[in-house]
Amino acid sequence: MATLPELLAPAALEADVRRFWSSQSIFARSLDLRKEGAPFVFYEGPPTANGMPHNGHVLTRVMKDIFPRFRTMRGQRVARKGGWDTHGLPVEVEVEKLLGIHGKAAIEAYGLEPFSRKCLDSVWVYTREWEELTERIGFWLDTESAYATYHRSYVESVWWALSELFKKGLLYQDYKVVWWWPQGGTALSAGEVGEGYKQVDDPSITVRFRVRELGALLPVELASAVAAELAAGKISFLAWTTTPWTLPSNVALAVNATAEYAFTRVTTEAGVEIVVTAAELAPEGERVATCLGNTLSGCTYAPLFTMHEAMPYQAAQLAAGRSFVVVTGAHVDVAQTGIVHTAPAFGEDDFAARKEHGLGFLQLVGPDGKFLPGSAAGTLDLVGRHCKEVDKDIVRDLKERGLLWKSETLRHPYPFCPRADKDPLIQYARPGWFIRTTQLNAEALANNDAVTWHPETIGTGRFGDFLRNNVDWALSRERFWGTPLNIWSCPGCDGRVAPASVAEIQALGGVLAADVGADLAVHKPWIDSVTLRCPTCAGTMARVPEVIDCWFDSGCMPFAQWGFPHQGREAFASSFPADFISEAIDQTRGWFYSLLMISTLLFDDESCKKYGLDPRAYPRPYRNCIVLGHVCDAEGKKESKSKGNYTSPDLVLAGEMRAKVVADASLKPGQLGMKPPQVRSLALDPNERMRTADGRIFEVVARDVKGKDTVHLSPDDAAAAGDSITLIPPFPPPGADAFRWLFYASSPAWTNTRISLKAILEGQREFLFRLRNVHQFLALHGEGWEPTPVTTGAAHVLDRWILAELDSLVRTVTTHLDGYRAYEAARALSTFVDGLSNWYLRRSRDRFSSLDADGVAARDTLYAVLDTVALLIAPFVPFTAEAIYLSLRGTAAKENPEISVHLADWPAPNPAWCAPELAEDMALLRELASLGLAARAMVGVRVRQPLSAAEVVLADPARSARLGALVALLGDELNVREVRFSADAGRFVSFRIKPDFKVLGKKLGKDMKACQEALARLDGSEVRARVLGGGLTLALPGGPVTLGPDEIIVEVAPLAGFQASGSAVAVVALWSELNEDLLEEGLAREITSKVQALRKGMGVAYGEVLALEVVNVAASSRAARTLARFGAQIAADTLCRFALAPAGESAVVEVDGEVVSLRVQRA
């Protein structure tokens, strides 16, 4: 063909392809082309655009991209509607940072109307960066019609869902213990809580609770045995806690009803006393008596603190039930002391015990996390102090009063607010709104069982466990920016309504704000002023003040993105359930849960029928879910900007990174301080430097840099740079395809991905550059050739083999992508390209030197392979695939809107190319080549030096007959004149056999040493033959054991005159001696190689004949004999003629002391 365009450098190639996609509307055309195809439904998990995207988002987006691309090429209709998560704490917290405020009270002081407007503005701050990243990495997504969770249509859909739950009795108000964020003034869901755990050191204390009265259930003899100590106030229950701040709100002690408890007389600094604990946990001392836990029920004790007595409301709550009494509880484990301090205001189990046993209630800590007025007694004043800050003072007070038995420190995980990670959460009893998810737990588990999870252990393990331990969903949030809870309450008759839409609000007399826009009108604070007419008593109904958990918003997206049921019914019906979703593993308690649970709650058969939907069997709303691991640094630690072990996506995609500048007097001018993990990730050579666009050069050094996206410069450099600096590394950006390939090919998606520039570049070299080089080779040999389809069986064995491998690749990649196994598909592609480059092309290189029938067949075959590979890699590396596909169609392809790899159909297997026997034979031959090359390396001669022969001994000698047609390839690869098959390896090598300890360790145990000794006593050749012939049976102390080929290690030792290498399937031995005949041929090949290098350096056109002069060769030298024997071949191979070349390019060939001077010039 006239020209086969070469490929641009990665960054330029990707920019060029993006322009092509945009100018030719390729994404839109791909959708239109398959509009009549069977649907493949993909849900985009909505991100929040008020923060910068990071590498975790790159991973999720490229994993979401591959399967829609694949299914589109399979002819399916794949709509890719984008979306934005715009509500909730993430948005509020960012606005608080922007305004320099923190906490609920500060927001109220600022004003709810301006705060809500700021929240709306905030959600779009980084939209451009998100859309730019999405475009750069080649994630095709419809962002023009994207949904946003704050849109009125979306909110109304969510209201419909809540209204349905309300009507079903699944949405209710109650007083429950929730995980509470005091500074934010709101509860968090289990999913949110799970995001924020950190390791902390908390006090671990055991406290004396002085017994007042023994209960009536205790045996009389026990009461008599301890009567004296009871009268003296010398009996104590020992209870353990890690939350001393809850002790002022203690109401009861809980014991295990069936466990044995002991009364133990001990001597302490306070004298002789009796302590009560679980018997197996009792301290050293005299055991006075034992009893079962249920007999302790009803015993009373003196409160540790009495400050509640001066607080009328608290005293009244306490008096409403039993107090300072021992009760039984199923939650009590026999651990620590076996007695649990119970404060119903601050523990879920404690609150349940209150209901079960009719306990009173104390809550001396307010919703802001601070102790209430009146929380003082003696020298202990807790008033106005945050609960997590008073532990030491409470412990000190208990110690001073002789109530502290033991005090230690416990390191354990504790939850913090995931959006304000310095704010600890507390368990707190609070009125709120809940969804009765436990009522449909069996249905949710059945739904989960029908989902195909990748990996499947998520469904049976992490996610399944979460469902099995499910609690009712804490829905309400006492916050501001979120979907308002659509419950209106009547103070006159206690009636409640849950309107499902604005229309239903208006039907009850509600009037929305008219001057703020449709979207804000359904948000706080404007919706708070909307009152309704009570349908029961005609009174005035007011909305409850809460908003809802934003995870409920996101879980409604399958129907809310269409505005269902108020609109979009057909669109929803055709896109429910999804065939595929994917997010990171932390979404097991987030989006994965909210999607599955809401769909389980809402779309039973009756509800589907009501809204004109066909019944949706499980699973719903997603059939396949890929659960992604975390993005980690090169050492396996989770990436963190603040820690610096973070590879900037801008560095990978655009070849630059922007950072804030801080002056550092410890740095010299021209030095750039970065966090040590950043320095390691860059992996610069000692002489490599970072630079700026204006040419300044910086040496990178490690420094203790604080803050995210920050670097240190010397004071002078910092003054010149200003507040920020854009840095450019000393290497071109790897680009999006290299980034994508790392995530697909480095490990299965659900394992953690280790990312570094080094890893990205290694993957690029292993696959993308290797493929580019194959394309480049064809481009260089395309002149004068016009490709023709390869439709029939190829004549050359290498062509038949690569086409058979291609056919197998099509089948393999298709099967893996059908099964959502991107990693396995990527590895198959990488293995194929390795074989294409390092076997097919290397062994076929000489065939491309002419345009005879075989040369044309080789070109046609390589063209067909590259064309199909471009299709196969399109879902993985869409830019490189597009560039290769267009290049193969010539320079005019970009002007034709009908031509794009992403408009093409997925390749089908070609039965005519299928050749499994040839594939097996070539695989064996390649293994023989690997063994031979290992042996050749031991010979220690140059690559171009031929050897006389290779001796091959196969474990299965019968296979040698099938290798006959391939032997010439092996000889060429090993550079030997002859390949001979032999049945007797003992002529060339000796064998030493050892057991494979890793494989046999568990199998043999103590018999391993005996096995090793037995093998050492046997002849190695005999052991090998018997193992390969069906197994070697050894009599060991533990009984007979049969060893197979995978359980032994065969070491090969060559005999004199040979070098050899072996495996379980073969031994290859090379004759290592060199004679003059071989040395002369080797020198001829070195001369040929040097002349070819000169041609390349001169930029000579293919086919141009040059003049070659060999200077000053002694007549009796090896060089003279070499030229006499091989001169004609050298000239033919190099397209030269021997002639004077006084002005030519010169070079020297030096081999084993033989020196040959050459000159080459244009004839």
Beta strands 339-342 and 252-255 are antiparallel
Rounded to 5°, the CA angle 1090-1091-1097 comes to 90
756 three-state secondary structure? coil
Alpha carbon distance 528, 506 (integer Å): 14
Place of tokens 């199909």: 868
- Burial code of 243-252, b = ≥16 C-beta within 10 A, e = fewer? bbbbbbbbbb
Structure tokens at 159: 């209201």
Is residue 830 within 8 Å of residue 745, measured between CB atoms? yes
Q: What are phi and psi of 124, to 5 degrees?
A: -110, 10
Q: How far apart are CA 1122 and CA 426, in angstroms?
A: 88
The alpha carbon torsion through 726, 732, 737, 739 (nearest 10 deg) reads -60
Active site residues: 46, 85, 551, 587, 591, 638, 641
The residue type found at 912 is: A
Q: Which DSSP helix (H) or strand (E) runs through 1076?
A: helix 1076-1098
Nearest to 34 by CA among 81, 74, 80, 82: 74
Q: Phi and psi (nearest 5°) for 776? A: -60, -40
**Which tokens hold the place of 427?**
């368990």
In degrees, rounded to 5, the angle at the alpha carbon of residue 779 between the alpha carbons of residues 776 and 780 is 90
DSSP 841: I
Contact at 8 Å (CB) between 140 and 541? no
φ and ψ of 447, to 5 deg = -60, -45
Q: In what order do the strands lie in the sheet with 724-727?
A: 690-691, 697-702, 671-674, 710-713, 657-663, 724-727
CB 858 within 8 A of CB 795: no
Q: Which two tokens stand for residue 385?
A: 């102090």
Q: Read off the tokens for 12.
A: 């330029």
Q: How far apart are CA 1018 and CA 215, in angstroms?
A: 80
Helix spans in 100-143 (H): 104-110, 112-122, 127-136
**Whether the Cβ atoms of residue 894 and residue 64 lie closer than 8 Å to each other:** no
Identity at 1156, one-letter amino acid code: V
Quickly list DSSP for 409-428. Answer: EEEEEEEEETTEEEEE-EEE
| CA 35 remoteness from chain centre | 32
Spatial neighbors of 631 by CB under 8 A, at least 6 apart, are: 54, 55, 56, 58, 59, 638, 639, 752, 753, 755
Cα distance between residue 39 and residue 19, in whole Å: 29
Asked if 1065 contacts 952 with a C-beta cutoff of 8 angstroms, the reply is no
Can the peptide bond before residue 565 be classed as cis, meaning omega within 30 degrees of 0? yes
CA angle 211, 214, 220 (to 5 degrees): 140
Q: Which residues contact 755 (CB under 8 A, 6 or more apart)?
A: 55, 631, 632, 633, 634, 639, 647, 742
Q: First vs last Cα of the chain: how many Å apart?
A: 28
Rounded-to-integer distance, Cα 1033 and Cα 1031, Å: 6
Q: Which two tokens stand for residue 861?
A: 């075959």
Report yes or no: 409 and 202 within 8 Å, Cβ to Cβ.
Answer: yes
- What phi-psi label fits residue 326: left (phi over 0), alpha (psi between -120 and 50 degrees) or beta? beta
